């Protein structure tokens, strides 16, 4: 990768892999990944909650790991793989719907992205409890049991 020096109000251009496709975007260097996803690329499934890395509503996966997109400057995803809620097939959310894991829905995209990471990496449970893995996704409606139970259910389904 070549060094680039950006000055003043100059826009930056980068490429990255978004939900499996290569995309190029031009953005203000101040933009967070959350801003680029929502306002430049029009993917509004990712929500802004607290803007301080606490609530997890803006969770996306970068190179397979959950991160708060409100804390990631867009220039840091050049060459990376980003997956957002838009990559999730709604048909795979049965356990969530049946388990009452979603109510107002504001936290749900972030919750689903972290859950997807857990489902893709079942070995995580050797060292972590589900509640610890999900601790970065706050929900003010469901009381968490529905969310945790639904992920348990999803894990059972994926292993059977």
Contacts with other proteins by CB under 8 A lie at: 1-8, 12, 28-30, 32, 51-54, 56, 59, 62, 65-68, 70-73, 75-76, 78-79, 114, 124, 127-128, 132-133, 135-138
Nearer to other proteins, 4 or 120 (CB): 4
* Shortest Å, Cβ 127 to other proteins: 7
* Shortest Å, Cβ 19 to other proteins: 19
10: which residues sit within 8 A by CB, 6+ positions away? Answer: 29
Neighbours of 157 (CB within 10 A): 12
Nearer to other proteins, 19 or 75 (CB): 75
* Shortest Å, Cβ 49 to other proteins: 12
Question: Token pair of 59, please?
Answer: 């969770």
Nearer to other proteins, 101 or 133 (CB): 133
Residue 37 is given by DSSP the state I
Place of tokens 């251009």: 13
Nearer to other proteins, 45 or 136 (CB): 136
Nearer to other proteins, 50 or 97 (CB): 50
157: which residues sit within 8 A by CB, 6+ positions away? Answer: 95
* Shortest Å, Cβ 138 to other proteins: 8
Question: Token pair of 80, please?
Answer: 């990376």
15: which residues sit within 8 A by CB, 6+ positions away? Answer: 22, 23, 24, 78, 79
Question: Taking Cα atoms as reference points, which of 59, 69, 55 lies closest to residue 138?
Answer: 55
* Shortest Å, Cβ 160 to other proteins: 26
């Amino acid at each position: 990768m070549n060094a680039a020096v950006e000055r003043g109000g100059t826009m930056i251009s980068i490429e990255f892999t978004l939900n499996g496709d290569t995309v190029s975007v031009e953005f203000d260097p101040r933009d967070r990944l959350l801003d680029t996803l929502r306002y430049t690329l029009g993917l509004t499934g990712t929500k802004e909650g607290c803007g301080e890395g606490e609530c997890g509503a803006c969770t996306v996966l970068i190179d397979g790991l959950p991160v708060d997109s409100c804390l990631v400057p867009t220039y840091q995803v050049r060459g990376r793989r980003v997956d957002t809620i838009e990559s999730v097939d709604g048909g795979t959310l049965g356990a969530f719907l049946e388990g009452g894991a979603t109510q107002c829905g504001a936290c749900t995209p972030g919750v689903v992205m972290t859950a997807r990471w857990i489902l893709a990496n079942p070995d995580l449970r050797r060292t972590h409890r589900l509640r610890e893995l999900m601790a970065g996704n706050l929900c003010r409606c469901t009381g968490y049991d529905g969310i945790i139970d639904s992920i348990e259910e999803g894990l059972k389904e994926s292993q059977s």
